[in-house]
Amino acid sequence: MSDRDGRGPEGALPPGAGQDTPVFVISIAAELSGLHAQTLRSYDRLGLVSPGRSPGGGRRYSARDIALLREVQRLSQEEGVNLAGVKRIIELEQLVDQLRSRVEELTEELAAAHAAAQQAAAMVHQSYRRDLVPTERGSQVVVWKPRAPRRRSDPQD
């Protein structure tokens, strides 16, 4: 079940559980992340990782939490970033993810608005009168106006 055999926590998820489903107790999360359980508690207190809670108050980690724990470990051990820096990096990455999602939403809204505008323009073009005939430039256009009907004179005149 550990990462030592090449499997991540995704392979260990129960059926129906997703990346954000809190299913791992702290001892399993510690094993999967390669950290000590006390380190996980410290990271929770510092706000680096916020696991879910069971009804009894015990920590429950998701596959996403395990990946985040691994990333915290990598940044602090391999990159030499202190925990305050790691926390800021995580916050900024989460902000970037939120902004990407918002850009996707706005792109979809823009595409829908563009399609609606094209459809409206097509409807306007379809409503053009078909009895108008284009003429060459410079040619004269004669407008015919029917005369008002003549009034008949009164037969007694």
For residue 8, give the H/E element and its range: none
What integer pLDDT is reported at residue 37 of this predicted model?
Answer: 96
pLDDT digits (tens, 9 = 90+) for 55-89: 999 999 999 999 999 999 999 999 999 999 999 99
Q: Assess if residue 155 is contained within a domain.
A: no
Which band of pLDDT confidence, cut at 50, 70 and 90, is reported for residue 94? very high
Q: Assess if residue 140 is contained within a domain.
A: no
Euclidean distance between CA atoms 92 and 85, whole angstroms: 10
65 CB-contact burial (10 Å; exposed 0-12 / middle 13-18 / buried 19+): buried
What integer pLDDT is reported at residue 13 of this predicted model?
Answer: 67
First to last CA, the chain: 117
2 CB-contact burial (10 Å; exposed 0-12 / middle 13-18 / buried 19+): middle
Number of domains in the chain: 1
Percentage of residues in the chain with pLDDT exceeding 90?
A: 61
What integer pLDDT is reported at residue 3 of this predicted model?
Answer: 42
Mean pLDDT of the chain, nearest integer: 85
The answer to whether residues 59 and 25 touch, using CB atoms and an 8 Å cutoff, is yes
Give the 3-state DSSP-derived string for 80-101, with helices as H, strands as E and coil as C: CCCHHHHHHHHHHHHHHHHHHH
Q: Assess if residue 122 is contained within a domain.
A: no
Q: Assess if residue 134 is contained within a domain.
A: no
- Written as one letter, the residue type at 42 is S
pLDDT digits (tens, 9 = 90+) for 118-139: 999 988 888 776 666 666 777 6
Q: Assess if residue 102 is contained within a domain.
A: no
For residue 57, give the H/E element and its range: none
Q: Assess if residue 119 is contained within a domain.
A: no
Q: Which domain holds residue 73?
A: 3-81
Q: Assess if residue 16 is contained within a domain.
A: yes
Which band of pLDDT confidence, cut at 50, 70 and 90, is reported for residue 7? very low
Q: Assess if residue 46 is contained within a domain.
A: yes
pLDDT digits (tens, 9 = 90+) for 38-53: 999 999 999 999 999 9
Residue spans of alpha helices (H) in 55-82: 63-77
Give the CATH number for residue 45. Answer: 1.10.1660.10
